[in-house]
Chains A and B, each alone.
Chain A
Amino acid sequence: MIMGIGEIIFFIVGAVAIASAFGVILHPHPVYSALFLVVALFQIAVLFILLDAEMVAFLQVLVYAGAIMVLFLFVIMLLNLGRDPEAAPASWKLVTLGLGGVLGAELGWFFLRRAVPPAAIGAIDPAYGSVTALARTLFVDHALSFEITSILLLVAMVGAIVLGRRGVD
């Protein structure tokens, strides 16, 4: 198989994504876990660009890396967390890693062998993934879901403020 530039990028980015995902769950220090997660999110954003979803890719960086993960880091630093004091027992580690391996193998086997979507990603019209197309789908086809999401955000905001208030009746 001759590899094009798309394949090469995919395999490099995918390998980095999996490696940093392991970093998230295995590094004993929460700050490093958060940074590994940021790296993984960037890799996924690159994959989005490969999949012609530029808008979603930049939103991914803006929302996840720029806001959500900064919030995580902020909390980790606010609580001044060090390394995790106690790790799980070794037997439990083995069990979870084994079960996780089984889950991963199952998912991989299912997607690579049994799933039925069209195999190769073919050419596509240039409007795909554009802001206009995304906005039309979002605000016309899914207008109700969009409004419900805004209510969800409002409720979450109120909830966070109530939970975050210190020492009230």
Chain B
Amino acid sequence: MVPVQYYLALAGALFAIGTVGVALRRNVIVMFMSIELMLNAANLAFVALARALHSMDGQVIVFFVMTVAAAEAAVGLAIILASFRNRMTLDAAQLSSLKW
């Protein structure tokens, strides 16, 4: 069997890649997808630890994370649509009217 640390390391790698994506890209939708990637890395860590600790709680938390991700996608994409309608761009660098 694969030791649980390997799963955790993989989750860490995916999380780091997601972080880089948020910082690297200017397209709001791609930044959003990178956040989904980070959430999934966390899910993987939860399930791996749940398996190692013989507990179902980790899997239940994954269930909640999925619900939150669905809610987040609905609201986030609605915000993206609304801002695109007003500004005709998805470039995060240009959506800066709230910047002081």
Do A and B come from the same complex? yes
- Chain A 25-58 interface 0/1 with B at a Cβ cutoff of 8 Å (1 = within): 1000010011001001100100110111101100
CA distance A72 to B9 in the complex (A): 28
Pick from A18, A137, A152: contact of B60, CB under 8 Å? A137
Report yes or no: A40 in contact with B14, Cβ–Cβ below 8 A: yes
Report yes or no: A68 in contact with B29, Cβ–Cβ below 8 A: no
- Mostly helix, strand, loop or mixed at chain B's interface? helix
Report yes or no: B36 in contact with A55, Cβ–Cβ below 8 A: no
Query: Which partner residue on chain A sits nearest B68 by CB separation?
Result: A152
Pick from B25, B51, B71: contact of A51, CB under 8 Å? B51
Judge whether A126 is part of the interface by a CB distance below 8 angstroms. no
- Mostly helix, strand, loop or mixed at chain A's interface? helix
Interface residues on A, range: 35 or more
CA distance A6 to B62 in the complex (A): 23
Pick from A99, A107, A117: contact of B53, CB under 8 Å? A117
Given contacts A107-B9, A129-B59, contact A97 B24 (CB under 8 A): yes
Given contacts A51-B51, A117-B4, contact A64 B69 (CB under 8 A): yes
Query: Which partner residue on chain B sits nearest A156 by CB separation?
Result: B71
CA distance A100 to B34 in the complex (A): 13
Given contacts A10-B2, A119-B5, contact A145 B64 (CB under 8 A): yes
- Residues on A with C-beta less than 8 A from B85 are 166
- Chain B 4-38 interface 0/1 with A at a Cβ cutoff of 8 Å (1 = within): 11111111111111111101111101101110110
CA distance A160 to B80 in the complex (A): 11
Given contacts A48-B47, A97-B24, A134-B60, contact A121 B13 (CB under 8 A): no
Report yes or no: B67 in contact with A56, Cβ–Cβ below 8 A: no
Q: Kindly identify, within residues 101 to 117 of chain A, every residue whose CB is under 8 Å from any CB belonging to chain B.
A: 101, 103-104, 107-108, 110-112, 115, 117
Pick from A33, A133, A159: contact of B56, CB under 8 Å? A133
- Residues on A with C-beta less than 8 A from B63 are 56, 59, 134, 138
- Residues on A with C-beta less than 8 A from B3 are 119-121
Q: List 23 A-B contacts (CB under 8 A).
A: A10-B6, A21-B13, A21-B17, A25-B18, A25-B30, A33-B30, A41-B40, A47-B47, A75-B29, A79-B84, A88-B25, A96-B23, A103-B19, A104-B16, A117-B5, A118-B53, A120-B1, A137-B56, A142-B64, A152-B67, A152-B68, A152-B71, A160-B75
